[in-house]
């Protein structure tokens, strides 16, 4: 495998939303991090802490008010197919079939349908969607939609995948299967991944490293190296090391929080 | 049980089970619609006509001048169904509705798209648009007659006004309601602006165009009938009005029924077009 690419480094990022007629909301303040190439970095924080804003900035959809963001040393200026975001809610285009959704990226960048089709088919087969390529997204289950979105992103050979609470809203069983699924994908490819979640179990199960965000205006307040062995299986969640890491993370999450705020 | 079946289909690691996913998923895919005949509806329609006939025969208050359904049916068959003049009225009203509706689409859809996509265009045009929108179509009748060289043009114009604002505002709202994720994703994937417009914005707006069409076709029939009564010597609206003026009340009923049927036919055609426009909404 080639040298890992897709290192995202943010330093001193600030973001404040200013909506007309409302008090400005500071979402990020002095947020700094280094998401290493070839690693699965998990960003954790409570809901409403600015995780999605961070995801939008990483993907290039929003610009920070201050601070710098670089990928492999080059500044991130706009959205691009080398950094792809899987959104919290499905962003599959409902008017395109699953295959058309996957082909959209390559075709938009000038490839012919014929040339792009084999790779799309290969990814769809791999994700168990081969028989569903001519279906429309609304005809798929929640888990299938998530997998279609992974195929839609991966067909473009991104350097980084950013997943913003991707498995939220799935039922417990599907969710666990999807976690195992993404884990296997990552362990096979070591594709640089920034995985955003509010669930500690998910974070511990997947992460090489967990970045804990404070409440808004947020920054990274704690980094936990998850040294659980790979390849991981669900059994890892009953080991003693897992319990220790869980406690460490919980302490960090509750640190500095007033009791009355709970 | 069904929950489990679809969950297994999701299992990525156990590759072969995806083969069983297809039948498992298709179990609840086709929506089973029971096509049972609504005999109650038939009974209540029969009761409606019976009550009408009885009310006329018993000379209930308000009914003593009105014809019963049997008289209306006889007049319809004897004097109208085989009369070319009657079908001409149909053709003329349909032509007016169609022209007004088509012009409203041709101008309203692009205008709505422009209002939604160009901030500058919106800033210039939208205030004028909003100033004109509350004026009811029929308030345009006198001005329209003065402005357009022929009566026909002025009626088509009033019909156009009826649908135009509704269609435009629906398309505009449709553009504004496009999910930002849908646009962001396209820009991430490197799509040029024209591709985004053609493959994301237009299809995203189609459901709103459909809503505009459904509302628009209903309004155009409303407007064309009123405009014909006021300002025309032809069409189904005029036919109904003449029945009233000449005190031949069965003709009024024939006119009303014809207009109802014409409106229902147009709505049905629009529904078929909408169904064809949105293959992804079919089940």
Q: How far is A105 from chain B (nearest CA, A)?
A: 5
What sign for the dihedral angle of Cα B116, B117, B123, B126?
negative
Residue A180 contacts B where some CB pair is shorter than 8 Å: yes
Q: Report pLDDT for B88.
A: 94
The rounded distance, in Å, linking the Cα atoms of A102 and A87 is: 15
| C-beta separation of A165 from A198 below 8 A | yes
Query: No. of H helices and E strands in chain A?
Result: 7, 10
Residue A166 contacts B where some CB pair is shorter than 8 Å: no
Q: Report pLDDT for A45.
A: 86
Q: Report pLDDT for B135.
A: 95
Q: Report pLDDT for B32.
A: 52
A156 contacts B189? CB cut-off 8 A: yes
Q: Report pLDDT for B1.
A: 35
Q: Report pLDDT for B110.
A: 96
Q: Report pLDDT for B108.
A: 96
| C-beta separation of B90 from B262 below 8 A | yes
Residue B26 contacts A where some CB pair is shorter than 8 Å: no
pLDDT, tens digit (0-9, with 9 covering 90-100), for B219-249: 999 999 999 998 888 999 999 999 999 989 9
Residues in chain B closer than 8 A to A130 (CB atoms): 18
Is this model's pTM higher than 0.90 or not?
A: no
DSSP E strand stretches across B35-186 = none
Q: Report pLDDT for B13.
A: 38
Residue of B17, B179, B185 best to disrupt the A interface, most CBs of A under 10 A: B185
Q: Which residues pair with B214 in a beta bridge?
A: none
Q: Report pLDDT for B141.
A: 92
Residue A80 contacts B where some CB pair is shorter than 8 Å: yes
The rounded distance, in Å, linking the Cα atoms of A242 and A184 is: 19
pLDDT, average across residues B32-59: 88
Q: Report pLDDT for A215.
A: 85
Residues in chain A closer than 8 A to B178 (CB atoms): none
pLDDT, tens digit (0-9, with 9 covering 90-100), for B182-208: 999 999 999 999 999 999 999 999 999
Residues in chain B closer than 8 A to A59 (CB atoms): 184, 188
Residue B7 contacts A where some CB pair is shorter than 8 Å: yes
pLDDT at residue B283 greater than cutoff 70: no
The rounded distance, in Å, linking the Cα atoms of A207 and A225 is: 8
pLDDT at residue B109 greater than cutoff 50: yes
pLDDT band at B11 (very low <50, low <70, confident <90, very high): very low
The rounded distance, in Å, linking the Cα atoms of B58 and B60 is: 6
| C-beta separation of A149 from A86 below 8 A | yes
**DSSP letter (8 states) at residue A219:** -
| C-beta separation of B140 from B158 below 8 A | yes
| C-beta separation of A209 from A42 below 8 A | yes
Describe chain A by its helix, strand, coil percentages, rounded to 5.
Answer: 40, 25, 40
What count of CB pairs under 8 Å joins A to B? 105
- For chain A, which ranges sit under pLDDT 70? 1-3, 256-262
What whole-number percentage of chain B has pLDDT above 90? 81
pLDDT, tens digit (0-9, with 9 covering 90-100), for B251-261: 999 999 999 99
């Amino acid at each position: 495998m080639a040298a890992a690419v897709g290192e995202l480094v943010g330093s001193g990022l600030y973001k404040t939303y200013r909506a007309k007629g409302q008090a400005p909301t500071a979402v990020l303040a002095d947020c700094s991090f280094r998401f290493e190439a070839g690693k699965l970095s998990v960003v954790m924080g409570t809901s409403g802490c600015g995780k999605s804003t961070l995801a939008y900035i990483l993907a290039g959809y929003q610009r920070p008010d201050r601070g710098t963001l670089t990928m492999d040393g080059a500044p991130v200026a706009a959205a691009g197919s080398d950094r792809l975001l899987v959104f919290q809610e499905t962003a599959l285009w409902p008017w395109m079939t699953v295959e058309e959704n996957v082909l959209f990226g390559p075709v938009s960048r000038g490839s012919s349908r014929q040339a792009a089709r084999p790779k799309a088919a290969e990814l769809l087969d791999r994700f168990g969607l081969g028989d569903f390529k001519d279906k429309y997204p609304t005809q798929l289950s929640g888990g299938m939609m998530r997998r279609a979105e992974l195929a839609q992103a991966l067909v473009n050979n991104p350097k980084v995948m950013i997943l913003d609470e991707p498995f939220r809203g799935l039922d417990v069983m599907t969710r666990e299967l999807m976690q195992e699924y993404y884990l296997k994908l990552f362990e096979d490819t070591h594709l640089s991944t920034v995985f955003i979640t509010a669930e500690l179990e998910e974070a511990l199960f997947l992460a090489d490293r967990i970045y804990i965000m404070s409440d808004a205006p947020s920054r990274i307040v704690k980094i936990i190296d998850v040294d659980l062995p790979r390849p991981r299986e669900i059994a890892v969640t009953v080991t003693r090391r897992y319990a220790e890491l869980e406690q460490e993370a919980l302490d960090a999450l509750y640190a500095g929080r007033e009791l009355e705020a709970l | 049980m069904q929950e489990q079946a679809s969950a297994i289909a999701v299992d990525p690691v156990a590759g072969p089970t995806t083969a069983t996913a297809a039948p498992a998923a298709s179990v609840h895919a086709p929506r089973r619609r029971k096509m049972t005949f609504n005999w109650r509806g038939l009974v209540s329609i029969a009761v409606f006509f019976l009550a009408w006939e009885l009310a006329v025969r018993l000379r209930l208050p308000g009914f003593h001048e009105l014809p019963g359904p049997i008289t209306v049916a006889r007049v319809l068959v004897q004097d109208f169904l085989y009369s070319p003049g009657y079908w001409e009225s149909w053709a003329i009203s349909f032509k007016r509705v169609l022209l007004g509706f088509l012009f409203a689409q041709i101008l309203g859809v692009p205008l709505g798209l422009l209002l939604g996509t160009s901030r500058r265009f919106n800033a210039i045009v939208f205030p004028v648009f909003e100033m004109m929108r509350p004026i009811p179509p029929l308030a345009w009748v006198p001005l329209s007659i003065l402005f357009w060289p022929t009566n026909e043009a002025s009626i088509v114009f009033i019909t156009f006004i009826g649908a135009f604002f509704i269609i435009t505002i629906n398309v505009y709202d449709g553009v504004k309601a496009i999910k930002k994720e849908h646009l962001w994703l396209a820009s991430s994937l490197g799509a040029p602006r024209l591709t985004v417009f053609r493959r994301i914005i237009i299809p995203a707006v189609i459901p709103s165009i459909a809503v505009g069409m459904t509302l628009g076709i209903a309004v155009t029939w409303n407007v064309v009938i009123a405009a014909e009564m006021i300002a025309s010597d032809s069409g189904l609206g005029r036919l109904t009005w003449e029945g009233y003026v000449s005190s031949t009340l069965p003709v009024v009923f024939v006119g009303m029924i014809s207009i109802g049927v014409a409106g229902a036919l147009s709505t049905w055609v629009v529904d078929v077009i909408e169904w064809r426009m949105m293959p992804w909404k079919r089940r």
